[in-house]
Amino acid sequence: MLTLLLLGIPFLSALVLFFGKSQSAKSIALTTTLLGFILSLAALFVFKTNPNSDLLKINLPWIDSLGVRFDLSITAVGILLVLLSNFLLPLIVLSAFKNEYKRAYNFFALILLMQSAMLGVFMANDGFLFYVFWELALIPIYFICLLWGGEDRGRITFKFFVYTLLGSLFMLIGLIYIYNHTNVNGLKSWNVNDMYAAGKLLTVKQQSIVFWFIFLAFAVKMPVFPFHTWQPNTYVNAPTQGTMLLSGIMLKMGTFGAIKWLLPMVPMGVAHSGGTAITLSIIGIVYASCIAIVQTDYKRLIAYSSIAHVGFMSAGILAANQQGIQGAYMQMLAHGCSVVGLFLVADILFRHTGTRDITKLGGIRNMNGNFAVLFLIITFDAVALPFTNSFVGEFITFSGVFKYSLVASAFAGLTIILSAVYMLRSYQKIMLGEIKQNAGVEFGPLASSDKTILIVICIAIIAFGVYPKPLNDIAEEGAKQIITLIKQP
C-alpha cells in the first residue's frame, strides 16, 4: 500500500500539474514531495517494526502472457534509496523556487514524473517492470534538459539520450536472455528471485556475456570510464534541478541496479569479468579526478568529481563482498547529499555573481560568512572528512576494495587524496583571498529557500557523520541479504 502511494501520488500530482496548468505549481510540487518524504519515513517505521509487512508490498498482474507482474516492494536492499530520493526531492523542488521558469507547471510535473519512475526502479521486483521504470525515468529528464537547459542543449541532451538508450537496450537483451532461462513449473517468469535462480545455472561464459550486457546500461548511467563522455556536458548544460536529479538520484539507479540486478543474478560472471570492470572504474577515478583539478567552471568540476566518486562506489560494489556493498550504500547516501548541495552552491554562485569561473571568484567569505560555513561543511563532506557522512561510506567501501585486491585499493585510495586537492583548492579560490568579482558589488544574503536547503543538507551530513548507526544498520542488512543471495546455490 505504501509503495503504491509513494509511486502514485507524484504521478497523479504530475498529471494535475500538466493538465491544470496551475499557477501555484511550485507549492503543489513541494507539498507532493514533502508528502513523499513523510510516506517514506512511514515506510521506514513499518520496515523497522516488521520488514515483511504487507504495507510495503504490492503485487498485481500486469501482462499475464509474458509473466510480467506489477510487483513492487520495499526491502532492505532498496529502502535506503527510497529514503534518499524522497529526502532529496523536496530540496530539489525547493531549489527551483528562486528561478522563474517559463511554463513552470510543466517543469515541476516532469520532476514529479521522474520521481515516480525512479522510485519504481528502486522498488521493482520484476525484471520487466524494472526495465520499464528504468526507461521511463529517462524521458522526463530528457525534456527537463532539452526545454530548460543551457546553450547547445539540443545536441548535448541528444547525446545523453542516445548513450543511455543504447546501454539500456543491451541490458534488455541481457534480461530477456535470463528470462528465457527461467523455469517455474514450466513457465517463464520475470520475478527477481526466479531470475536469480536462472542466472546462476548459466555457464561461466554465458554469465560473463550477460554481465557485460547488463553492466553496460549501469556503466553508462553511473557513468564509469569510458562511457562517461555524455556526463560533464549534460551536467553543465542541464538546469540546476536537472543536474541535481541526474547526479543526486538517477546516478544511483546505476549503482543500485548493479547491486540488485547484477551481483546475485550472474555471480560467476561478476567473479570472472568483474576485475576488468573494477579496473575501468578505478581508471575513471584517477582520470576524472585529474581532469577535475584543472577545471575552472565550478559546475563542471563537480561533474567530474561525481565521476570519480561513482567510480569508487562501482569498485566497491563489484568487489562483491559485504563491506564493499555496505560501503557503497553509505556512499550513495552521502554523495546524494553532498552533490545536491554542491550543485546548489554552483547555482547560488552563478545567481549572485554571474559567473561560475573559479579564477574570477574570490573572497566571498568576507561578504557572506554564513554561506562560507555551509559551503565548507559540504566541501568537507565531498572530501570525506571524519564526522561527515561520506567518511563512513568511504571507509567501509575502502575496506571492501582492500579485501578484494590490494593494488585496486591503493589506486582507489587516490580518490581521497585527489578529491581533497580539487575540492579544497576550489573552495579556497572561491571563498578566501581577495574579492575579485565586480569589485563593489555585494554578494548579498542568501535567499531563504537556498539557506533552508543548505542547512538541511549540512544537518544531515553532520548528524549521520557523527551517528551513522541507524542508516548503517540498514545498509549492513541490505548488503548481507545480497551476499546471501550471491552465495545461495
Partner 1 sequence: MKGLLVISGLGIIAMLAEIFKFKKVLLPLVLIGIALAYTLNVFEWNTPCDISYFSNMIAFDKVAIAFSGIIIITAFFWFILSHNYFEEDSNLVDHFTLVLFVIVGALMLTAFKNMTTLFLGIEIMSIPLYVLASSKKKDIKSNEAGFKYLIMGSFASGFLLFGIALIYGATGTFDINLISEYTSQNAANMPMFFYVGVIMILVAMSFKVSAAPFHFWAPDVYHGSPTLITALMSTVVKTAAFAAILRLFMIAFSGISESWTLILAVIIALSLVIANFSAAMQSNVKRMLAFSSISHAAFMLMVVLANVRSNLSLNAVIYYSLAYSLASIVAFGVLHVAAKNANGNENTDAFNGLAKKNPMLAFCMTIAMLSLGGIPITAGFFAKYFVFTALIGTSFKWLLVLAILASAIGIYYYLKIVIAMFYQKHDGEKTFELDKPQAIAIVLSTLAILVIGVLPGLIANMFKM
CB of 233: closest distance to partner 1 in angstroms? 16
Query: Which of 123, 361 has the CB closer to partner 1?
Result: 123
- Contact positions vs partner 1 (CB under 8 A): 62-66, 131-132, 135-136, 138-139, 143, 146-147, 153-154, 158, 161-162, 165-166, 169-170, 172-173, 176-177, 180
d(CA 232, CA 235): 5
Query: Which of 159, 436 has the CB closer to partner 1?
Result: 159
Query: Which of 143, 343 has the CB closer to partner 1?
Result: 143
d(CA 54, CA 43): 11
Amino acid (1-letter code) at residue 238: A
Query: Which of 152, 473 has the CB closer to partner 1?
Result: 152
CB of 63: closest distance to partner 1 in angstroms? 5
Query: Which of 236, 361 has the CB closer to partner 1?
Result: 236
| Block residue for cell numbers 547491486 | 259
CB of 27: closest distance to partner 1 in angstroms? 24
* The three three-digit cell numbers of residue 66, written as one number: 509474458
Instruction: Tell me the torsion sign for CA atoms 370, 111, 86, 93.
Output: positive
CB of 189: closest distance to partner 1 in angstroms? 14
Task: Name the region of 256 (left: φ>0; alpha: ψ -120 to 50; beta: rest).
Answer: alpha
Query: How many CB atoms within 10 Å of residue 422?
Result: 25
Close Cβ partners of 147 (under 8 Å, ≥ 6 residues apart): 106, 107
Q: Which helix (H) or strand (E) holds 70?
A: strand 68-73
CB of 112: closest distance to partner 1 in angstroms? 17
Q: Contact at 8 Å (CB) between 33 and 91?
A: no
d(CA 264, CA 484): 9
Query: Which of 187, 294 has the CB closer to partner 1?
Result: 187
d(CA 337, CA 390): 9
CB of 169: closest distance to partner 1 in angstroms? 4
d(CA 376, CA 318): 32
User: Angle at Cα 14 formed by Cα 11 and Cα 16, nearest 5°?
Assistant: 115
Query: Which of 89, 156 has the CB closer to partner 1?
Result: 156
CB of 446: closest distance to partner 1 in angstroms? 32
